[in-house]
Chain A
C-alpha cells in the first residue's frame, strides 16, 4: 500500500471507529513536520502514546511532505515543497532515521555550479568541490576557489580590490556564535553588511546565503547569516558535504517516520487545524477544526511543533500578550519544474544562480531522484527544478509571468535546451519557510515556555545548538520529547554531538572570543 493510502486509511479508521473516543494520548503534538514527527517518535520509543495533529488534509511532513502527483506525457511525478537533501552535519536526523532503519542510501552531491549574470555576461563555474575538498584549512578554504580558472573569470578588478574587506566580514563570523551566545544583532541585515562588497564576490556569497537560507538578502538578519556560515561551511570544510534524498521527502522520510510512530503506539491525524490550547484541571486541552467540525482532546503535555506563523497564531488565540514575544519570520517561495526532451550539455547536478537572474538555484532532478532518473534513462530527457526566493514583488507576479521569467533564465544558462521544453509546473509554497533569526532571549520561545508542560519544537525555536532547518527541527523535536520525558521521570535521549571546528579556525575563534571578552571588560571598567 502506498504510504499516502496507509495514512489516509489510518485516519479514516480513527475517525470512524469507536476506539478514538476511548484512546487518550499521553502528549499532543501540534504539527506533523520533522519536528513533530521527531518528538512523537522519541516519545513513542519510550512507551508513551503521542498524538500528532497535522493541519494538511493529505500529507504528513510539513515542508518535507510529499505532494500531489502530476503527469508529464505518460509519466507521473510527485510534487513536493523543494527540500532535496541533507548536509553532513545533520547528525541527529540521521541517527534517528538509522535507529529505525529508515535512513535511505543517499545520492552524494558531486558538484555545485555558480552561474553568474551581470548585464550581458553569463558565466558558469564549479564551486562546491573546491570548498569541501579545499587544500587550505578552514576558514581560508575558500582560497581554493582562486585556483580555479572558471572562478577567476567571473571576477573583475573591483573584486580583487575588495578582497580583504570580504574576508574580514567572513572572519568576523568566526568570533561570534549567534545561537550559542543568543546574539540577536538587531537591525543588521546581510544586505547592509555586504553593501560595499564588489559585484561578483557579493553576488557569490549572497547566492550561497540565499541558497542556504532560501531567503532574499535584504530579509536575512546578520545573526542568521553568521550562524548559517558557521554551521554549513566556515568552521569545517566537510560541513559543505551534501547528500540528496533518493526520492522526494514524503515518500522516503516523512511517511515512513509517521508509519513508525503509529507502529510504536502513537497516532497521526491529518486535516486537524489547531485553533487554541487551554489549561484545564492540570491538563492541556487542545481544540482543532476538521472538515467535520470542531474537536478537542486533553493530554498532560503539549508540544507546539508548527511553523512560526502558525505557532504565533495558536498562541495568540490561547493567551494574552503574544505581541510581546518574538517569532522569526516565515517566508513563501516558488518552485518551478521544467521537463525537456534532451539533456543539457554541461552542468553539475545542482547550483546557484546569482546576479541578474530571477531564479536562485537549480537541481537536475533526473540526476537525483529515482523516478526522474528512470524516466530520463527511458526517454533521454532531463528535468530541472528552480527556486525563486523573492523579493516579494517578484513572487507576487502572476504565474505566467514568473514562469516565463524562469524559463528565460534557464534558457540563457542552458541555451542548448531552447525549444526542447516538454512540460512545466509552478508551485507556490505558503509562508512556512523559517527565516533563521536570533531573537532577544526573554522574547524568543525556546523548548521550555512560560506555560508549564507546553513545549516548543521547530527550526525557529531558540536553542544554543548551531544547527539549521531539518536538523534543527529534529534536534528541537528530540529536546521537546526530552522535556516531556523529564516531567514524567523517564530517561532522556542523548543528542549526537556536532563535529567540532577544524583546529586552525578553532584557534582563531578562541583568540577572537578572548579579544571580545577583554574589550567587554575594558568597557565595563570604564
Chain B
C-alpha cells in the first residue's frame, strides 16, 4: 500500500513539474570492500580494496539506517560485498526487528554465504590483502535469509569457464552455485525470494541459457543487466546480433511465464538503448560512511557541479533534512538524462514515467519492484 501511495504521490509531483521524487527504496552500501575482482566492475573489486572507504562501525551503520528509515520503507543492502562487513547479521536484525523496514533485500556475490565457502575463498588472496576482512561474517545461508524479503545473488554463469573470463575463479563459481541451491531450497520455509542477477557480457552471453535453465530447475528468479562501460552498454554487446537475439528471447520467455525479473519496458530499452526520462531520486544511494550520493551515483562519481556527496546522514536527524541540504547544494535533480542505462535507475524511472505501462505490467502479474543492482 505504501509503495502505491508513493507511486501516486510521485505521479502528482511529475504532473506539477517537480522531478525530485520520493524514493521507492534506498540503497545502502554496507561496505566498499569486495572479495571478488570482476573485470566489468567499475566501482569496486578487490583490486581497489586499499583505495576505498573503510567499513563503517556497526554503530554508525545503524545510525545511518535509522535516518534512512525516517523517509524510506524499503531497503537494499549492497556493497562491495556486504557479507564482508563483520556486523552484517546484526545490522540486518536491527533493520528488520527494530527499524521495521517494510521490505529488505540483500545483494551479494554469494561466495560468503557460508563459513565453508568463506574459508575456502580466503586462500585465494595475497598477503597484502587484509585477510580478516575476507572471512565470512555469517554461519550459513539461514542466518541472513530469515531477515530478508529478497536475496539477490550476482551470478553471471553456471559455467566456471565462462566465469573465469570475467575474473571469477573456479572455486568461487562452485561455492556460489552450491550456496544458491541451498538458498533456493529455503525460499518457501523462510518466505523470501531468491533472485540471481546476471551481468550479460560478450563472454558470458552464450552461457545465459544454462543459467536460465538453472533458475527454472531450482525455482529461482533471474534478472539481467548488460555490462556497462563508462555507463553505456558495452559496444561489443550493442553491435552484436547475438545480444539482440538474446534480449528478444528473454522478452519471449518472460511472456511465456519464465521467472525473469524486470518490466517489458525495460527490456525494450535494453534492446535499442532508447532514451528514457530518468528520475534518480527514486533510488537514492548512501555510501558506507553515510554520504548521500546526490542525485545519483554516476553524477556523484563524476564530481562535477551536478552532484556529489551532498550530505552525511550521520550529521542529520531525518531523511527530509538530508534531502533539503542536498537540494540546497546542487539544485533539483535533473531528468532527461542519457548518461547511463543501468537497470536500477531505468526500471523505476520507466515505471514512474509511464503509468499505463506500469498498470499493464501489474496486470500481467510482473513484480516490477525489483531491478538489477546495476
Contact = CB atoms under 8 A, between A and B. Distances in A.
Interface of A: 88, 91, 94-95, 97-110, 132-133, 238, 241-243, 246, 370, 373-374, 377, 494-496, 499-500
A204 to B, nearest CB: 21
A105 B239 contact: no
Nearest to A238: B275
Contact of A108 (B235, B274, B302, B336): B336
B128 interface: no
A98 B305 contact: no
A103 B275 CA distance: 16
Contact of A109 (B231, B234, B278, B336): B336
Given A98-B232, A103-B230, A105-B339, A88 B275 contact: yes
B230 A241 contact: no
Contact of A133 (B235, B277, B298, B299): B277
Given A133-B277, A246-B302, A108 B232 contact: no
Interface in B227-280: 229-232, 234-235, 238-239, 272-278
Contacts of A105: 231, 298-299, 301-302, 304, 306, 339
B12 interface: no
Contacts of A496: 235, 238-239
Nearest to A241: B275
Which size class do B's interface residues fall under? 20 to 34
B338 interface: yes
B336 A107 contact: no
Nearest to B336: A108
B338 A108 contact: yes
Contact of A106 (B234, B273, B305, B337): B337
B231 A108 contact: no
Given A496-B238, A499-B272, A243 B230 contact: no
A151 to B, nearest CB: 16
A238 B335 CA distance: 13
A105 B305 CA distance: 11
A99 B228 CA distance: 10
Interface of B: 229-232, 234-235, 238-239, 272-278, 298-299, 301-302, 304-306, 334-339
A95 B232 contact: yes
Contacts of A98: 229-232, 235
A246 B335 contact: no
A99 B229 contact: yes
A97 B235 CA distance: 10
Contacts of A242: 336
6 contacts: A98-B230, A110-B335, A243-B339, A246-B305, A496-B235, A500-B272
A246 B306 contact: yes
Contact of B304 (A109, A370, A500): A370
B260 to A, nearest CB: 24
A68 B122 CA distance: 54
Given A370-B305, A377-B305, A496-B238, 9 more contacts: A98-B229, A98-B231, A99-B234, A100-B230, A107-B334, A108-B339, A109-B336, A110-B335, A242-B336
A31 B338 CA distance: 29
A87 to B, nearest CB: 9
A94 B272 contact: no
B306 A107 contact: yes
Given A99-B235, A102-B230, A241 B304 contact: no
Contacts of B336: 108-110, 132, 241-243
B166 to A, nearest CB: 18
A365 B306 CA distance: 13
